[in-house]
Amino acid sequence: MTSYNLQLNAQGELQHLLTIEGLPQEIIVRILDTAHSFLSVGEREIKKVPLLRGKAVFNLFFEASTRTRTTFEIAAKRLSADVINLNVGTSSQSKGETLLDTVANLSAMHADMFVVRHSQSGAAHLIARHVAPYIHVINAGDGRHAHPTQGLLDMFTIRYYKKEFTSLRVAIVGDVLHSRVARSQIHALATLGVPEVRVIGPRTLLPSNVSDLGVQVHHDMENGLKDVDVIIMLRLQNERMNGALLPSAQEFFKYYGLTPAKLAHAKPDAIVMHPGPMNRGIEIESSVADGQQSVILPQVTFGIAVRMAVMSILAGNP
Amino acid sequence: MTKPLPDAEKLLALLAERMRPWVSADTALIGIHTGGVWLAQRLHKVLALRQPLGTIDVSFYRDDYGSRGLHPKVRPSNIPFEVSDADIILVDDVLFTGRTIRAAMNELFDYGRPKSIRLAALIDRGGRQLPIAAQFVGDEYAVAEGEQIELTKNEKDELSLVLNRARA
């Protein structure tokens, strides 16, 4: 069984959100449209709607995260759900077994939804395969595999500023090799009809088969950023790096760090995105991160609306 | 039950005249998506109201979310005036069970505490399931169960009513 079958119920509606790969375009567009309606809820006096009243959402984080966990928590609370946060350190014992035992116990507490972050690729899929049919699972990042809500909020951000996808050039810069975010973005951009996606980085930080995903590969910023509409900077993932893939962070900044000079190769109205957390002075210079073209903080705000949309669509599908 | 469907444009004119003595320039109109928004746009112009027009989509407040899920097409609500202490008239095309109006009022109270809320509907088809009544109605028109009246708009922005089989 492929992973995307697992995400959809018999009527083709979203049952779990595990990966953007294989997700039909109309489901992605519906999530973005619904998120747009949730944006104004965040600007009202009472920032809550009653959709998930009486539902229990468990944030199961086996790997550290501040922004993602917090925005999922805010999203669930704005939908009036009860939120339980569990920061479960990855156990050194048999992980699969422990994971399913944890989930079985929480299911016995009448969980309605699990939001799962795990360092192992496929953890959310494993849980989705084993939960009762009325429980929904959202992948909040699994290993190097996928981070679908980040990919969706990035698409929301691009659509918000650029209106449509079908005439865009998008560059994804940096540590693509270790990035689940990049994988989710590439799948989403393709599904939404972006004609030109480029990945830019040193050979050691690009997957060897990355061009199979339909992207152009560049190793220098000048050519790679030329005339792009959107620049997505990735975080240099020190914690996922074992072995010497890079001479040094300074060396990386010299060639791939986004500076005003490198940014000037892109279109004048290009937007600069970053999923966070940022390493200032390593992948991005502060003057760019805080500059006119940066939409890094709006991405965080949009992330709440997108997660509200995903949760309310999932919980409404039996 | 063979009474023909009323003409929506005539009803709209009638509704506006019924509202006119009861509105001031500060009265705020809020149309409920989709038909109610079309009507509210027209009423806003005819009644020459000063407050900008509001629109509301009640999908996040519907009481059938648990059984039917989230509506596939949710439009953003847009309330461009201060709700607290406002005199508000909600505008909808067809008044039936009253559940949409309940949802709209619940949503409005999350923006603030209005001074008053009144309701204007083009057609009252009866069948109320909640204690809700309209202060302004174009006409009453009984419809058999299993059928529904819908407001439509053509390319010249003219409104008309059609009778359809109700969606299951």
Nearest by CB: B110 against A33, A45, A313: A45
Note the pLDDT of residue B1: 44
What are the phi and psi torsion angles at B84 (to 5°)? -60, 125
Q: H/E/C letters for each residue in chain A?
A: CCHHHHHECCCCCECCECCCCCCCHHHHHHHHHHHHHHHHHHHCCCCCCCCCCCCEEEEEECCCCCHHHHHHHHHHHHCCCEEEEEECCCCCCCHHHHHHHHHHHHHHCCCCEEEEEECCCCHHHHHHHHCCCCCEEEEEEECCCECHHHHHHHHHHHHHHHCCCCCCEEEEECCCCCCHHHHHHHHHHHHCCCCEEEEECCHHHCCCCHHHHCCEEECCHHHHHCCCCEEEECCCCHHHCCCCCCCCHHHHHHHHCECHHHHCCCCCCCEEECCCCCCECCCECHHHHCCCCECHHHHHHHHHHHHHHHHHHHHHCC
Nearest to A86 by CA among A107, A109, A106: A106
Quick check: A24 contacting B, CB < 8 Å?
Answer: no
Is the previous residue joined to A277 through a cis bond, with omega within 30 degrees of 0?
A: yes
Is B81 within 8 Å of chain A by CB? no
Please state, in angstroms and rounded to a whole number, the distance separating the CA atoms of residues A16 and A310: 9
Residue A80 near chain B (CB below 8 Å): no
Total of domains in chain B: 1
In order along its 168 residues, chain B shows pLDDT tens digits of 446 889 999 999 999 999 999 999 899 999 999 999 999 999 999 999 999 999 999 999 999 999 999 999 999 999 999 999 999 999 999 999 999 999 999 999 999 999 999 999 999 999 999 999 999 999 999 988 888 999 999 999 999 999 988 765
Tell me, what's the pLDDT at A65? Answer: 87
Q: Rg for chain A (alpha carbons), in Å?
A: 19
| Residues in CB range of B139: below 8 A, 6 or more apart | B6, B11, B14, B122, B123, B124
Using the Cβ of B111 and the Cβ atoms of chain A, whether some distance falls under 8 Å is answered with yes
d(CA B91, CA B41): 10
Q: How far is CA A268 from CA A211, A255, A283, in A?
A: 27, 21, 20
pLDDT of residue A240: 58
C-alpha span between B91 and B31 (Å, rounded): 5
Q: What is the pLDDT of residue B166?
A: 77
Torsions phi, psi of A145, nearest 5? -80, -65
* Pairwise CA distance, residues B26 & A229, whole Å: 45
pLDDT digits (tens, 9 = 90+) for A227-284: 999 999 999 877 656 566 777 888 899 999 999 999 999 999 999 999 999 999 999 9
Q: What ipTM did this prediction achieve? A: 0.89
What is the enclosing helix (H) or strand (E) of B109?
Answer: helix B99-109
Instruction: Report the predicted TM-score, pTM, of the whole model to 2 decimal places.
Output: 0.93
Task: Taking residues A300-310, report their average pLDDT.
Answer: 97
Beta bridge partners of B55: B31, B78
Predicted local confidence at residue B167, as pLDDT: 67
How far, in Å, CA of A158 to CA of A170, rounded?
10
Chain B: nearest CA to A314, how far in angstroms?
8
| Structural domains for chain A | 3-146+300-316 (3.40.50.1370), 148-295 (3.40.50.1370)
Query: Would residue B3 count as lying in a domain?
Result: no
Question: How many Cβ contacts (< 8 angstroms) between chains A and B?
Answer: 50
d(CA A187, CA A179): 13
pLDDT score of B144: 86
pLDDT at position B105 is 98
Sheet holding A271-273, edge to edge: A216-218, A196-200, A169-173, A230-233, A271-273
Which of B70, B73, B76 shows the shortest C-beta gap to A312?
A: B70
Higher-confidence position of A99 and B20:
B20
pLDDT tens per residue across span A111-155: 999 999 998 999 999 999 999 999 999 999 999 899 999 999 999
Token pair 């009513």 is found at B161
- Residue A185's Cα: distance from chain center in Å? 7
List, in sequence order, every residue forming a beta bridge with A61; answer none if it has no partner: A87, A117
Whether B2 is covered by a domain: the verdict is no
Please report whether residue B112 resides in a domain. Answer: yes
Mean pLDDT of A78-104: 78
> For residue B144, what is the domain's CATH number?
3.40.50.2020
- Whether residue A51 and residue B65 make contact (CB cut-off 8 A), yes or no, is yes
**Tokens 């005249």 appear where?**
B17
pLDDT band at A92 (very low <50, low <70, confident <90, very high): very low
Which residue in A45, A136, A311 has the most chain B C-beta atoms within 10 A of its own C-beta, making it the best mutation to test that interface?
A45
Which chain B residues are within 8 Å of A13, Cβ to Cβ?
Answer: 69
CA–CA dist A194, A169 (Å, integer): 7
pLDDT in tens, A21-30: 999 999 999 9
3-state secondary structure (DSSP) of residue B15: helix
Residue B134 lies in a domain: yes
Residue B1 within any structural domain of the chain: no
Average pLDDT over residues A90-109: 74
Higher-pLDDT residue of A28, A97 = A28
Please confirm whether the linkage preceding B34 is cis (ω < 30° from 0): yes
The answer to whether the Cβ–Cβ distance between A37 and B74 falls below 8 Å is: yes
Q: Please name the residue that has the structure tokens 């005539």.
A: B10
Smallest Cα–Cα separation from A56: which of A87, A85, A34? A85
Q: Of the candidates A44, A317, A318, which has its C-beta nearest B110's C-beta?
A: A44
The pLDDT of residue A89: 67
Chain A contact for B59, CB < 8 A? yes
Tell me how far the alpha carbon of residue A46 is from its chain's centroid.
27
Give the model's pLDDT for residue A93: 44
What does the alpha-carbon distance between residue B29 and residue B54 come to, in Å, rounded to a whole number? 6
Query: pLDDT value at position A98?
Result: 79
Q: Is residue B115 part of a domain?
A: yes
Environment class of B34 (CB within 10 Å of its CB; exposed 0-12, middle 13-18, buried 19+): middle
Contacts of B12 (CB under 8 A, 6+ apart): B39, B42, B43, B122, B138, B159
Which residues form the domain of B84? 8-165
**Virtual CA dihedral for B16, B21, B27, B28, nearest 10 degrees?**
-20
Per-residue pLDDT at A290: 97
Q: Does B75 touch chain A (CB under 8 A)?
A: yes
Q: Nearest C-alpha of chain B: how many angstroms from A36?
A: 7
Looking at chain A, the whole-number percentage of residues with pLDDT higher than 90 is: 79
Q: Are B68 and A39 inside 8 Å of each other by CB?
A: no
What average pLDDT does the segment A299-318 reach?
A: 96
